[in-house]
Structure 1
Amino acid sequence: MHPQLTPGIDVALLVFWAFVAFLVALVFYLRREDRREGYPLEDVLSGRVDTPGGPLSTASPKSFLLPFGHGVVTAPTTGRDPFDIAARRTERFAGAPHVPTGDPLVDGIGPAAWADRAKRPDLDMEGHPRIVPLSAAPEYGIARGDSDLAGWPVIAADKAVAGTVVELWIDKADRLVRYLAVALENGGSTVLAPMMMATVDRGRRRVVIDAITAAQFTRAPRIDAADSITLYEEDRVQGYFGGGYLYATADRQEPLF
């Protein structure tokens, strides 16, 4: 084949312009696809909803089949999420910070916020719940020489005893401990505390969780099932304890210096 089709066009030039056309089309496609979540935009001051238009508007709805028969998810969704936030704006401009008007850990404000995730457990490759109590997974165990922490006291941020560890909850897929089941003091119920926020003091045989105070343990989110935790419940638990690093005590909300 002769490399020159006409006196002014050759194969290399055609390939170049074909690549440019493909790149432009790809940019348009990606800019439409990335508007599947978080759009249309909403003005935080007036509440006005701006629906994008033109060639970069939101792509047409697309449906995704969830594994193990858990239904279908369609994006983008229609309508707005009707959430009332228990906080007030500190200044009258877009992007101004909010301050809580109630209990920020319970209301899910700032670092204590959670996502409205699916009301089902996270599943492994076989379709079984990933995170379960150690007693419900007899094929797993604690390494020889390590303790299962049962009976160890849990020390909170205010140095008070919040409760006692009664069981470990493990992640069967990642092969690690995800949560501690803590029986609260004075005959209270059992709550799950994130293992990643706990410090195991082997010398004194205790567990320190300085994210929240002992009293705040009593308001920690509960889970419905005794042998599994849903994605939504995980977000609630993680948000509650994570938010404690800012909201547990008043002095944590002040500058460091």
Structure 2
Amino acid sequence: MPTPPPTPVFLDLAALSLYVFFAFFAGLIYYLHRENKREGYPLVPDRSDRPNFGPIHGFGETPAPKVFRLHHPPGATVTQGAQPERDISALVIEDPYNGTPITPIGDAMRDGVGAASYAMRPDVPDLAYDDNLPKIVPLRAAPGWHVAAEDPNPIGRSVTTLDGELAGTVVDLWVDRSEFVLRYLEVEAVGRHRVLVPMFLATINDDGDVRVVSVTAAQLAAAPRTRLPEQVTLLEEDMIGGYFGGGHLHATPERSEPCL
């Protein structure tokens, strides 16, 4: 009996291309999933009953730290793996379980907790790219900058807060030299010291009078201050923004309670 001829082997290029695409797409998903862990991972368990549980990586190990060499601030930064940056003045009040919310145990706005939280950014000023000088400065330190004649000028105007009290007087405006916008109102509060109020958390009427509804007069006077009179650092900006923004939730007990 004659031997049958061997069955020819056909290479299905369409099927092979599909399998290669599936393999590539699966690898891409895995790669992106790991890259997504460069911030916030490994997770730190908040279970007080399991102190030795250790960091949580989840599916796909946390990637090795990546170093970015920055133009400003000078030097290099690592994207993950850092320890907690500061103590949080808050505790778990109810029975602990995974995801139990924490409750501030002091002044949430001064402690930077909850809605008033901030990140530990570098304690250096943000610089303009063209001249490497601080880009957010008061008008008194920005020659050639002024308020347009058709716009209300709040300098010299009073500042009232959510309690209706006179909290201080605007003495200068801080401008962003890179973005051509006003960033802060410099207010001389009661007590003769000056604080910065974020421009986007204040309202100015046609007469130039200023109202800040996120804080009380006492809270405005207690706001974080800059270390230098004509310079604000990235860390100070985050602290100031967190303080005044957090006032919308933490300024009064009524604001911290449910609406219903």
TM-score above 0.5, yes or no: yes
Post-superposition CA distance 1:169-228 (Å, at most 9, x none)? 111222111100000124x2100001111111224x420001100011121001112222
Q: What is residue 21 of structure 2 aligned with on the other side?
A: 19
Instruction: Tell me which of 220, 244, 250 is aligned to 1:247.
Output: 250
Over 3 Å counting, the alpha-carbon distance change for 1:251 and 1:68 in structure 2 is closer
Compute the RMSD of aligned alpha carbons.
2.0
The CA distance in 2 between the partners of 1:20 and 1:134, in whole Å, is 59
Give the letter aligned to residue 9 of structure 1. L
The CA distance in 2 between the partners of 1:63 and 1:97, in whole Å, is 33
Q: What is residue 161 of structure 1 aligned with on the other side?
A: 166
Note the C-alpha offset of 1:69.
6.5
Give the letter aligned to residue 120 of structure 1. V
Q: What is residue 118 of structure 1 aligned with on the other side?
A: 122
Q: Is the 8 A contact 2:127 2:134 kept in 1?
A: yes
Give the secondary structure class of the aligned counterpart of 2:37.
coil
Q: What is residue 87 of structure 2 aligned with on the other side?
A: 84
The CA distance in 1 between the partners of 2:9 and 2:149, in whole Å, is 80
Q: Is the 8 A contact 1:148 1:168 kept in 2?
A: no
Instruction: Tell me which of 62, 68, 71 is aligned to 1:64.
Output: 68
Give the secondary structure class of the aligned counterpart of 1:182.
strand
The CA distance in 1 between the partners of 2:36 and 2:174, in whole Å, is 36
Post-superposition CA distance 1:90-125 (Å, at most 9, x none)? 312222232221111101111011111111222333
Note the C-alpha offset of 1:60.
1.9
Q: Is the 8 A contact 2:139 2:173 kept in 1?
A: yes
The CA distance in 2 between the partners of 1:49 and 1:83, in whole Å, is 20
Instruction: Tell me which of 46, 50, 67 is aligned to 2:55.
Output: 50
1:40 aligns with 2:45: no
Give the letter aligned to residue 189 of structure 1. H
Q: What is residue 212 of structure 1 aligned with on the other side?
A: 215
Note the C-alpha offset of 1:7.
4.4
Unaligned runs of 5+ in 2: 1-7
Q: Is the 8 A contact 1:121 1:228 kept in 2?
A: yes
Over 3 Å counting, the alpha-carbon distance change for 1:192 and 1:53 in structure 2 is closer
Q: What is residue 3 of structure 2 aligned with on the other side?
A: none
Alignment map for 1:198-209 (pairs within 5 Å)? 198-203=202-207, 205-209=208-212
Number of residue-to-residue matches in the alignment = 248
Give the secondary structure class of the aligned counterpart of 1:49.
coil
- State which structure, 1 or 2, has the greater radius of gyration over its C-alpha atoms: 2
Give the letter aligned to residue 256 of structure 1. C
Note the C-alpha offset of 1:86.
1.4
Give the letter aligned to residue 45 of structure 1. R
Q: Is the 8 A contact 2:73 2:122 kept in 1?
A: no
The CA distance in 1 between the partners of 2:70 and 2:86, in whole Å, is 26
Give the letter aligned to residue 22 of structure 2. V
Over 3 Å counting, the alpha-carbon distance change for 1:32 and 1:254 in structure 2 is closer
Identity of aligned residues (%): 40
Q: Is the 8 A contact 1:40 1:49 kept in 2?
A: no
1:185 aligns with 2:187: no
The CA distance in 1 between the partners of 2:79 and 2:156, in whole Å, is 47
1:8 aligns with 2:10: yes
Give the letter aligned to residue 101 of structure 1. I
